[in-house]
Amino acid sequence: MALQRGPRDRGPRQKEEPYNINEKIRAVKVRVVGENIEQGIYPIQEAIQIAKGVGLDLVEISPNADPPVCKVTDYSKFKYEQKKKQKELKAKTHKVVVKEIRFGPNTDDHDFEFKLKHALNFLKEGSKVKAYVHFVGRTIVYKERGEHLLLKFANALEEVGKVEDMPKLEGKRMIIMLTPKLKK
């Protein structure tokens, strides 16, 4: 009895290549670039012959251009360089960290100073600070106290941070965002 394969049993999957190479390029004419070759616009078959003549691959690097741009290069080396570039870009990106500081509408001076010190450290290390006054129950009637507290907070930190937007009420919280000032 022969073993029948179902629709899911098609063997190991091949990974889809991110770039078209050699015969997989569908364009009729391509612009050929690369080192030690005559650059210009060629029919696809002639471009493939040029690449094979120097023992390299024809890689489509810009398929949306008119005509598409293809590079004569070693494909495995090309893929390695692309991965390396992606890794460098990823390493250079800076993740924005937002630290939160919570106040109540009746926060006293000692607590305010304590939280101000923390916010100062957060801004110096390059993090954003989201300060908010949380109104619980009937304390919502003290909105102006909350706004005054946040403005006093922003004013005390104006040397190291700048206000992104003024205090605004969102539900039971009045929020202000501070970003670190760039060092000169």
Tens digit of pLDDT for each residue in 39-70?
888 888 888 888 888 888 888 888 888 888 88
pLDDT band at 10 (very low <50, low <70, confident <90, very high): low
pLDDT at residue 11 is higher than 80: no
pLDDT of residue 105: 83
Domain ranges in the chain are 22-79, 98-180
4: buried, middle or exposed (CB in 10 Å: 19+, 13-18, 0-12)?
exposed
Weakest-pLDDT range from 3-7, 138-142, 155-159, 177-181: 3-7
Query: Which residues lie closer than 8 Å to 119 by C-beta, 6 or more apart?
Result: 99, 101, 129, 131, 153, 157, 161, 178
Nearest in space to 76 (alpha carbons), one of 64, 67, 84 = 84
pLDDT at residue 2 is higher than 80: no
Burial of 129-150, coded b for 16+ CB within 10 Å and e otherwise, reads bbbbbebeeebeebeebbbebb
Question: What is the third-level CATH fold of 22-79?
Answer: Ubiquitin-like (UB roll) (3.10.20)
Query: Which residues lie closer than 8 Å to 172 by C-beta, 6 or more apart?
Result: 134, 135, 136, 140
Indicate the pTM of the whole model: 0.50
**Architecture of the domain spanning 98-180:** 2-Layer Sandwich (3.30)
pLDDT at residue 144 is higher than 60: yes
Across residues 144-155, what is the average pLDDT? Answer: 87
Portion of the chain with pLDDT greater than 70, in percent: 90
CA distance 148 to 131: 13
Query: Which residues lie closer than 8 Å to 161 by C-beta, 6 or more apart?
Result: 119, 123, 129, 154, 178, 179, 180, 181
Strand order in the sheet with 98-103: 98-103, 128-134, 173-180, 161-170
- Compute the mean pLDDT over every residue in the chain, rounded to the nearest whole number: 83
Across residues 167-184, what is the average pLDDT? Answer: 82
- Encode pLDDT of 81-139 as tens digits: 889 988 888 877 777 788 899 988 888 889 989 999 999 998 888 888 999 988 888 88
User: Number of C-alpha atoms within 13 angstroms, CB side, residue 117?
Assistant: 5
CA distance 145 to 132: 12
CA distance 122 to 127: 5
pLDDT of residue 117: 92
